[in-house]
Amino acid sequence: MNPPAARYRYIGRPMPVVEDRRFVRGGGRYINDLSLPAMLHLAVVPAPVAHARLTGLDTSQARCAPGVVAVLTGQDLAAMMEPVPQELDLPAVVWYPLAVDKIRFAGEWVAAVVATSRAAAEDAAELVLVDFDELEPVVDPRRGMQPDAPLLHEAHGSNVVWNERHTWGDVDTAFQRADHVFEYSYRWNRHSGVPLETFGCVAQVDPTGILEIWASHQNPDIQQEVIKVMRTSKAKVHMDIDIGGSYGSKRGRKQMYLTAAAAIRTRRPVKFIEDRIENMQASDGHGPDRYYTVKVAASAAGIVQALDIDLIEDLGAYCGRGPRQITKPTSAVVGPYRIPAVRYGGAGVLTCKTNQVPFRGAGQSPHNFAIERTMDLVARDLGIDRVELRLRNFIQPEQFPYEIPGGAVYDSGNYPGAAEIAIKQARMEDLLAEQAQARAAGRLFGIGIAGGIEPGGAAAEHGEGVRIEIDATGHVVATIGFQSAGQAHESMVTQLVCEELGVELQDVIVQRGHGLAGIYAGAPTGARMTQMLGTSVHQCAAKVRRKLTEIAAFTLQVQLEEIEADGAVYRVTGDAGRSLTIRQLAKIAYGPRMKCPPGMEPGIVEQNVYAGPDIVTKRKLTTGAKQFPTYGFDFHVVVAEVDPETFHIALRKYLVVHDCGTVLNPLVVDGFVYGGVGHGIGGAMFENFAYDERGQLLAASFMDYLMPTAAEVPPIELHEQCTPTPLHPYGAKGAAESAYLTAPGAIASAIEDAVTPLGIRITEIPVTPQLLFDAVTAWQQRP
Amino acid sequence: MTVTEPATSSISLTVNGTVHRVTVEPRRTLLDCLRDDLVFPGTHVGCEHGVCGCCNVIVDGTLIRSCLMLAVQADGASVETIEGVAAGDELSAVQEAFCATHAMQCGYCTPGMIMTLEELLRANPQPTEEELVDALSGNLCRCTGYQQILQAARKVIASNAAEGGRG
């Protein structure tokens, strides 16, 4: 940990997290804690099969059941709302919250019952009779791409909805001239954030006709979509509730529209909280699901000269926002390496599964996995040490800003520096000696390494706003546009307000807004809040200081330039006796008009919207081609041991070097890193939304979808490197994703190193004992 | 098939020291009863099948999953929820340690985690690392990777050891 710069009072120090005080008392207020007078409850009817023509829905018994107020079908919704918007412009791929004429995945909702209690709604939901003609499901996207495959959306004419190929640099020449050309295939199975709170929402039409929605939805910009989809001119999405985890996955749009439709239909408030199975089967919350083929051109010395990356993405039944996860990695397509030429493309295919959501890194984690696996395998195939191969290929610290193929620009970094810290702190020589001993004793002991880039600050799409007010008593109220899903935004804003205005922690209130609060708010996606909201607070505080300075100069009868701010005190330079505190200045600002400078607005209320650094999107992609101003970096060293008889995998050591530039609050950033490793361990070793050949989800409960507990996550040793970005006032980069974007590759590297004596390679995650057993068996039985 | 109005039972349970009388359907879980009938929203709904630990409460001194216990089974019992852990404004040692180490992010699993540790440390103020991890392995957290939660627990255990040593 680098010491915080001496000029900062709060930045860089472990500041107690404001939100924690209420959470430890059970005082978080989540969507399921909201109750409105006369509120009804909604339950859904799930489809029993994965692919079918919906021929009839008999809701007559359900409508007569006790407590039932309404039953909604897909036909009802189609008449009262627009389809749910999707990432790509596909007029023939039409998506409503309830199936209209076809069932496209098992668990898809075909009807919704609204009743006086959730129990009554569930009882009645069981009385809805669903008639259907079953069709052949599409479960494997490789099958779905074939010309004779059954079609999910017949009018679209194909299951393929994204099909692009981009060439940046002279790829063909590089492959023709390369000393070596290798080809590797990888499989990244579906997993996701799976927050412990399911998605939920409450909707009502208020007496003035405003459609109000409270939801555990992470993005404030959803309000504009609500207006369009629900065909209303007045909507208010409340963004002041706590969210029980998101990691990108809390974006239940169809749930919000379904609940809103139910509120409009019944003219009463309606609540819908997914149960766990609904969340796992049908919440549109799954992460990437990908097959990779990576061709690599390399010199004899192991310098990688070109990559040709082809992928097949299993998007699920509707295109949703999944395609974004295919294109996002183009913002860091070469990882931390100086690779001059890249071909990138493939196919996004619709299948009979729930939709994807851009989950933690939005497709960057599988991409980094593919890059790091490739570096390991090239090293093995050339007989070069894995660390040495990376050192030979890293972008060098003096090369920044560095433009990669495709045009994204890395702002800053020190990749060899981070790797060296990791190798030294992990005592790599000792580990290698330990490994030699272990292997001699017949143990399967492996050391893994990986680096990982985190594009941060997703800037190009939205600005980020804040309003700072100082009331007449000198208290500061900062209003931001949205709630937090665990990223401690209230704390960050509090910390920055204290830093910038010199006030004390107890004098700051951070207020979370709603869609009509006048705050221009984008979204906490793409590791952007430190970059975007942090900069916005910095700029807004400067406006506040300017006004305070004007009042101070007027009151003390000096020129503006003669006033200097020292924390919360504004004094005349060189005359310490003549000064005013923020509290005194605030009193003046709200006092009689003649005491303020002529023409000045009374009060202290300043607003700011930060649009992001001025960078241009060069890549021509159909979706998701946004630019990321800052690039963080992780380097991980992992030790794994595999039991030679049971293939049980234990992680013996986990070391991270993390570089997100300036760390604003180590308590928070350390938590992001640990949690990111936790997600990485889950994805690399346990979690898999597996489907059977009929398209039934096999992992629809926590008994079947295995997640790491405290017993599976080893102690994580964390070291910081600090390479500040020039594109942020404090030098901070995005910090919440890099550990998850690096861990799967590092863990696979360690397990592969452990089982190398058995002759197998790791090209698929999750790496389970079964996967190892099957691979070893196949190797032993090879012809 | 028709649905009839379900029968109900009257039960009495003590929650955080206060006696409550409530009428519930026999199928109502203790979790739903605490949250919706008695308004203790700090106990959270996670998986509703006994895996995640978000709904952990202490019933007659024993940690239980309130999603797996029917409210009628708690008739006559004494229940402790997260709302009863602090003494007024004074947080418990576990709660203070959670704040000191930032042993949470979204806060959703936090009440269940704290109830697990309260129960563990009452019975065994100085558990071994293995006992600690074993006890916490019944609670899922998706945010933290458990590191800062374990740090918080170790902080309390170290403080218990210091106090024990002095005593």
In A, which residues are within 8 Å of B142 by CB distance?
193-196, 245, 247, 675, 678-679, 707
Q: Which of B44, B86, B150 sits opposite A710 (nearest CB)?
A: B150
Range of the domain at B70: 9-84
Residue among A555, A563, A582, A595 at smallest CA distance from A468: A582
Give the torsion sign (CA, B41, B113, A31, A506). positive
Q: Which of A23, A275, A713 sits opposite B110 (nearest CB)?
A: A23
Query: How many Cβ pairs within 8 Å bridge chains A and B?
Result: 189
Give chain A's domain count: 3
A624 and A764 housed in the same domain: yes
- B145–A675 CB contact, under 8 Å: yes
pLDDT of residue A783: 79
What is the chain A residue with the closest CA to B86?
A25
> What CATH number corresponds to the domain at position A58?
3.90.1170.50
Say whether A642 sits in a helix, a strand or coil: strand
Among A63, A218, A669, A709, the residue to mutate for chain B (most B Cβ within 10 A)? A709
B78 and B13 housed in the same domain: yes
Measured in whole angstroms, the distance separating CA A539 from the mean position of its chain's CA atoms is 26
d(CA A773, CA A259): 47
CA atoms within 13 A of residue A129's CA, in its CB half-sphere: 6
d(CA A55, CA A66): 27
A332 part of a folded domain: yes
Q: Are A43 and A125 in contact (CB under 8 A)?
A: yes
Give the strand pairing for A68-73 and A235-238.
unpaired
Please provide the DSSP assignment of A265-320 as one string: HHTS-EEEE--HHHHHHHSS-B---EEEEEEEEE-TT--EEEEEEEEEEEEESS-T
A183 part of a folded domain: no
Nearest-CA distance B29 → chain A (Å): 11
Residue ending a domain, among B32, B55, B84, is B84
Q: Which residues of chain A from 6 to 45 reach within 8 Å of chain B, CB to CB?
A: 16-17, 19-30, 32-33
Which residues pair with residue B15 across a beta bridge?
A: B18, B79
A775 part of a folded domain: yes
In B, which residues are within 8 Å of A709 by CB distance?
136-140, 146
Low-confidence ranges of chain A (pLDDT < 50): 1-3
Q: Which of A196, A668, A716 sits opposite B147 (nearest CB)?
A: A716
- B146–A710 CB contact, under 8 Å: yes
Hey, what are A741's tokens? Answer: 């974007």
Torsion angles phi and psi, residue B138, rounded to 5:
-90, 5
Q: Are A772 and A647 in contact (CB under 8 A)?
A: yes
pTM of the model: 0.96
B3 part of a folded domain: no
Range of the domain at A420: 290-401+411-459+617-780
Q: Which residues of chain A from 698 to 717 reach within 8 Å of chain B, CB to CB?
A: 701-703, 707, 709-711, 713, 715-716
Residue ending a domain, among A587, A610, A633, is A610
In A, which residues are within 8 Å of B106 by CB distance?
28, 195-197, 242-246, 484-486
Cite the beta strand spans of chain B per DSSP E. Answer: 9-15, 18-24, 56-59, 62-65, 78-80
pLDDT of residue A525: 78
Burial (CB count <10 Å: 0-12, 13-18, 19+), residue A397 = middle
Reported confidence tier of residue B102, pLDDT bands at 50, 70, 90: very high
Burial (CB count <10 Å: 0-12, 13-18, 19+), residue A427 = middle
A471 and A521 housed in the same domain: yes
- B44–A66 CB contact, under 8 Å: no
Tens of pLDDT, residues A654-686: 999 999 999 999 999 999 999 999 999 999 999
B28 and B72 housed in the same domain: yes
- If phi > 0 it is left, if psi is from -120 to 50 it is alpha, else beta; for residue A529 that is alpha
Residue ending a domain, among B84, B112, B140, is B84
A9 part of a folded domain: no
Among A23, A68, A665, the residue to mutate for chain B (most B Cβ within 10 A)? A23
List of residues 6+ apart from A726 with CB closer than 8 A: A411, A412
- A715–B27 CB contact, under 8 Å: no
Query: Helices (DSSP H) in A443-514: which residue ranges?
Result: 489-501
Residue among A776, A750, A748, A756 at smallest CA distance from A189: A748
- B150–A667 CB contact, under 8 Å: no
A593 and A563 housed in the same domain: yes
Rounded to an integer, the average pLDDT of B90-109 is 98
> What CATH number corresponds to the domain at position B60?
3.10.20.30
Q: What is the number of helices (H) and of strands (E) in chain A?
A: 20, 29
Angle at which helix A666-681 crosses helix A738-755, to 10 degrees, equals 40
Nearest-CA distance A193 → chain B (Å): 7
A328 and A301 housed in the same domain: yes
pLDDT of residue A2: 45
Hey, what are B27's tokens? Answer: 């199928």
Say whether A249 sits in a helix, a strand or coil: coil
- A119–B27 CB contact, under 8 Å: yes
Torsion angles phi and psi, residue A498, rounded to 5:
-60, -45
In B, which residues are within 8 Å of A677 by CB distance?
145
Tens of pLDDT, residues A425-456: 999 999 999 999 999 999 999 999 999 999 99
The DSSP code for B33 is I
> In what side-by-side order are the strands of the sheet with A630-642?
A444-456, A630-642, A649-659, A716-720
Q: Using CA atoms in the order A95, A99, A101, A105, what is the torsion angle rounded to 10 degrees?
A: 90
d(CA A417, CA A398): 12
Please provide the DSSP assignment of A126-162 as one string: TT-EEEEEE------HHHHTSTTSPPSSGGGSSSEEE
Hey, what are B145's tokens? Answer: 């990777």
Among B80, B108, B133, the residue to mutate for chain A (most A Cβ within 10 A)? B108
Residue among A104, A405, A72 at smallest CA distance from A261: A72
B125 part of a folded domain: yes
A62 part of a folded domain: yes
Q: Which residues of chain A from 483 to 522 reach within 8 Å of chain B, CB to CB?
A: 484-488
> What CATH number corresponds to the domain at position A475?
3.30.365.10
Give chain B's domain count: 2
Hey, what are A181's tokens? Answer: 């050309």
- B3–A123 CB contact, under 8 Å: yes
d(CA A633, CA A492): 21
Among B31, B117, B129, B146, the residue to mutate for chain A (most A Cβ within 10 A)? B146
List of residues 6+ apart from B29 with CB closer than 8 A: B48, B66, B67, B68, B69, B70, B71
Angle at which helix B129-136 crosses helix B147-166, to 10 degrees, equals 130
